[in-house]
Amino acid sequence: QDQLVESGGGLVQPGGSLRLSCAAARSIFSTNVMGWYRQTPGKEREWVATIGSGSSTNYADSVKGRFTISRDVGNNTVYLQMNSLKPEDTAVYYCYLKQWGNTYWGQGTQVTVSS
């Protein structure tokens, strides 16, 4: 059973917006660290954003001011709101959950920014 399932990816024009969702098959807690990475072919996976205990957030410099990470504990879901998208944001986006010493990953969702 997939522990994390991402959705919301797709094709968008430069300057557009997308909202990614990551639904967990297990209960999540506000103390769990969750976040997003992205990867393009031939490159290493790149960290994008993290939400931690107390809803503290951190962002990669490349997305700061454009992306917002949030979490809905009641629905076991983490979100990534992506605004002002650029072609260089094109990648497969993966969410992760760190819980009880384990790290869980989703299967990824493709985001393509192109005119």
What pLDDT, in 10s, does the model give residues 17-53?
A: 999 999 998 888 888 899 999 999 999 999 999 999 8
At residue 94, the pLDDT reads: 97
Residue predicted with more confidence, 31 or 112? 112
Is residue 2 predicted with pLDDT exceeding 80? no
First to last CA, the chain: 36
List, in sequence order, every beta strand (DSSP E) within 1-115. 4-7, 10-12, 18-24, 33-39, 46-51, 57-59, 67-72, 77-82, 91-99, 102-105, 109-113
Position 1 scores a pLDDT of 65
Q: What is residue 29's predicted lDDT score, i.e. its pLDDT? A: 85
Distances (CA, A) of 90 to 5, 33, 43, 44: 19, 24, 12, 14
Residue 30 has a pLDDT of 81
50-97 confidence digits (pLDDT tens): 999 888 999 999 999 999 999 999 999 999 999 999 999 999 999 999
The pLDDT, as a whole number, for residue 26 is 83
